[in-house]
Amino acid sequence: MMLLVVNSGSSSVKLAAFEGTQQRAQAQVDRIGSGGPPDHAEALALGVAQLAVPARQIRAAAHRVVHGGAELTRTCRITPAIEQTIAACATLAPLHNPPALAGIAAVARLWPGLPQYAAFDTAFHASNPDVATTYALPAAERARGVRRYGFHGLSYAAIVRNMQHCYPNGVPKRLLSFHLGNGASSCAIVDGHSVASSMGFSPLDGLTMGTRPGGLDPAVVLDLVARHGLEQTAQMLNRGSGLKALGGSNDIRALHAARTPEAEFAIAHFCYWAARHGASLCAAMGGVDAITFTGGIGENDGICRSNILNHLAFLGAVMDGDANARGEKALHAATSRVAVWIVPADEERQIAIETAAAMSREGQT
């Protein structure tokens, strides 16, 4: 019996079939609604056909959900109430929660009665102390859930798990982790638990990203809304900012290839703000013992890794340039006081593991 892991984007669906913790197949369907399949239901059907896993072997489906709010802090079975909570958080993660809901609805239409589970990117950060999550706002606003949540939690949980199992000394006490891709964040992890994150109320905050600006003075948002209206401002902040606004593309590879002053500035901006937020997170931990990089940029872009670590050299992080150029797992030089690692993203397996634990709590096999 297989578990189908579903990662639904606005125009794509990634699928992986797991037997226990072993991935048996994977597939991806792109261009939903723009020349490809017309909707997520058709995309799922195409993806399952690519997997070549008989539908009768699928025991359950598990979905990546970016925002679970304050209530949903561990992987759980999807019920109408859970679905309503995910929908209530959709305005806070407009690029992610609506596609996840579309994926959930598509699975329900294709396989009525199939158990479905949700794994939340916010859940890993539930261990953050109140001082790290509380905004200095009136009590009424705080009471309705306006606070920092943090995201990319499934990626960070997978990093902790893989470092426990794959590296000689296990998880360092104070770990600064960077998830760098079209979405980008950093996280402070102490004894395997998140204590602070660069992202906040939504995935807009923190580092410069592919199409999102990262940290902004709230007065900037007020000014943009006054000039452009709420809907156009939301579109600008979610889809028209970040690297795309600075350099003309949200693809870091295209920026490297362009070599224009604008592209070079965009890359420098990305690295500067990654390091600046990373240094702030080190203050939350009282120092740092190791740094990890994951995600499409974190795993594959040696130039960005080098630039970020150059900014953090004052912490005692010294990179082995040759190891970095080769993309080796261990990037630290012999003289470095801080270990530096590449840890490949492993979110789908993390979802499978957490879903198996949720099913076990229910007494299912």
**Helices within 75-217 (DSSP H only):** 80-88, 97-110, 130-133, 139-143, 153-166
Tens digits of per-residue pLDDT, 275-311?
A: 999 999 999 999 999 999 999 999 999 999 999 999 9
Question: What's the rounded mean pLDDT across residues 197-207?
Answer: 96
Percent of the residues in the chain that have a pLDDT greater than 70, as a whole number: 99
pLDDT at position 164, please? Answer: 87
Q: Packing angle between helix 230-239 and helix 218-228, nearest 10 degrees? A: 130
CA distance 213 to 203: 10
Tens digits of per-residue pLDDT, 44-69?
A: 889 888 988 888 899 999 999 999 99
pLDDT at position 198, please? Answer: 98
Decide if pLDDT at 365 tops 60. no
Domains and CATH numbers, the chain: 2-120 (3.30.420.40), 170-342 (3.30.420.40)
pLDDT at position 364, please? Answer: 57
Tens digits of per-residue pLDDT, 208-253?
A: 999 999 999 999 999 999 999 999 999 999 999 999 999 999 999 9
| Residue 121 annotated among the catalytic residues of the structure | yes
Residue-averaged pLDDT of the chain: 94
Decide if pLDDT at 353 tops 70. yes
pLDDT at position 32, please? Answer: 84
Identify the helix (H) or strand (E) that includes residue 269: helix 261-285
CA distance 276 to 67: 25
Tens digits of per-residue pLDDT, 135-188?
A: 999 999 999 999 999 999 999 999 999 998 777 778 999 999 999 999 999 999
Looking at 30, 39, 121, 301, which residue is catalytic? 121
Which pair of structure tokens corresponds to residue 352?
Answer: 């499978």
Rounded to the nearest 5°, which phi and psi values hold at 236?
-60, -45
Tens digits of per-residue pLDDT, 82-120?
A: 999 999 999 888 888 998 999 999 899 889 999 999 999
